[in-house]
Amino acid sequence: MELRNAFYIKLGRGGEWEADAIVNAKLRFGWSQQSLEDINAANWLTIEQQLREELGSGQATRALNGLKTICLSSSSDIWITFHKAKLWWASLSEEPVAEDSRSKYRTTSGPWSDKNLQGKLLVASELPGKIAQLQAFRWTVCAVQHKDILHRVLEGLSSPKAKAIAHQRTLLAAQLTEAIQELHWKDFEILVDLVFRASGWVRVSVLGEQAKGYDLELREPITGDRCVVQVKSRAGLPELAEAKAQFSPSDYRRVFLVVHTPTPELAQADDLPEHVVLLPPRDLAERAIDAGLITWLEEKIT
């Protein structure tokens, strides 16, 4: 995608125009004292004088520049805003400024989108801070200073540094997978316990008791949801079928089958019900990284 210029706009005081603007493919703005005729005729000197009388010299220049930015923006510019904790983006049509009972507005060339070009939701809390911080901007319009970052966000691309980190994480996960496969059986059980507890689950059974066919029973402390964990040294499709039959989703939100050495058939299984999660060594390695257990694993295979 081409990104010549990028601008942020706050859609109304307190976001009062956000929902309507997004649903109706409009970029709404104020400047209620300026006439539609003067705006579309680009009578900037007249408008500037009005703004000076209305706002004073200190605010008039910024207000005039903001209005010009909106009115002179072309279809090759990208506009972004935030609504319901997501980033939305659009470009403007070539239609002139219009006005209705709510506000002045320009129409967008297509619908506002809350997804990047790869189809991923643009959740504000997951955005780079240099983009997410625009939510705190206190005026109406500003240029996006970090266009390169916004461009990557909208394209769904990673920066070179992010790619390098991901590559190193992949290498680390591969090394930890080998380390996990070298663990003594008891250490493997302990690792599974540590991973789940570090993820926020509360253990409500004794590790290794194997009561009722599971090794761990866990509870999610906020919702109270329960899950069970079966820890297997070796397992294949029969063990998977047994886990599916033994534990109902009405009783347990998740059934985790953690396998030290899965058969090739089990490793390739893709017909798992929603409540059954298979964790082979590679997936367990990823979760061990997230849980901060790299040093623990390093010490266990020293």
**Dist CA 102 CA 165 (whole Å):** 48
Q: 5 is written with which tokens? A: 């210029």
**159-198 confidence digits (pLDDT tens):** 999 999 999 999 999 999 999 999 999 999 999 999 999 9
User: What is the model's pLDDT at position 156?
Assistant: 95
Average pLDDT over residues 233-240: 91
178-213 burial, b at 16+ Cβ within 10 Å, e below that, comes to ebbeebeeeebbbbbbbbbeeeebeeebeeeeeeee
**For 138-180, what is the HEC assignment?**
CCCEEECCCHHHHHHHHHCCCCHHHHHHHHHHHHHHHHHHHHH
User: What is the model's pLDDT at position 205?
Assistant: 77
Q: Domains of the chain: which residue ranges?
A: 6-155, 161-300
Q: Determine contact, residues 55/33, Cβ cutoff 8 Å.
A: no
pTM: predicted TM-score of the whole model, two decimal places? 0.77
Which of these ranges, 99-108, 127-136, 139-148, 244-253, has the smallest mean pLDDT? 244-253
**Dist CA 23 CA 110 (whole Å):** 11
User: What is the model's pLDDT at position 17?
Assistant: 97
Q: Determine contact, residues 192/198, Cβ cutoff 8 Å.
A: no
CATH number of 161-300: 3.40.1350.10
**Dist CA 228 CA 252 (whole Å):** 7
Average pLDDT over residues 128-133: 96
The beta strands (E) that lie in 30-94 are given as 78-83, 86-90
Which of these ranges, 71-80, 124-133, 137-146, 244-253, has the smallest mean pLDDT? 244-253
